[in-house]
Amino acid sequence: MAKRTGPTNIQLQKLIVELKELARKQNALIWKLVAMELSKPTRKRREVNISNIDMAAEDNETLLVPGKVLSAGELTKKVTVAAWNFSAAAKAKINKKGKAVSIQELMKSNPKGSKVRVIG
């Protein structure tokens, strides 16, 4: 059986290390959970459509997707969505009504991870 090596994307490897360090420093379990999710193989990582985000979200809420956000559906609520990756169409749709940010930006603005919900 082959040894599991983890993600080969260098930016993703750095992000996982940063998430684990922040989880340790801030004693925030959310960042450890996100690091574990991002360590999974690409085919097992979460993919969430905008319609799912719209159903799960409340107005002015911050949501985190440890994977990719896809563009199916419409966003009717003002939310902040953080994710590892966005399709171009999804990012445009989210930015019309809410705000699409990277996980790194969310880590800087909210190091404790308070009032952030992981979906997917």
Residue pair 119/63 in contact (Cβ under 8 Å)? The answer is yes
Domains in the chain with CATH codes: 10-118 (3.100.10.10)
How much is the pLDDT for 3? Answer: 74
SS3 track for 59-95: CCCEEEEEEEEECCCCCCCCCEEEEEEECHHHHHHHH
| Helix (H) or strand (E) run with residue 21 in it | helix 10-26
CA distance 64 to 53: 10
User: What is the pLDDT averaged over residues 6-14?
Assistant: 89
Residue pair 60/78 in contact (Cβ under 8 Å)? The answer is yes
How much is the pLDDT for 49? Answer: 96
Model confidence over 78-114: pLDDT tens digits?
999 999 999 999 999 999 999 999 999 999 999 999 9
Query: DSSP state, 99?
Result: E
Task: Say what the pTM is.
Answer: 0.89
Model confidence over 19-75: pLDDT tens digits?
999 999 999 999 999 999 999 988 888 999 999 999 999 999 999 999 999 999 999
Q: What percent of the chain has a predicted confidence (pLDDT) above 90?
A: 84
* Residue 8 pLDDT level (bands cut at 50, 70, 90): confident
Query: DSSP state, 111?
Result: T
CA distance 74 to 92: 11
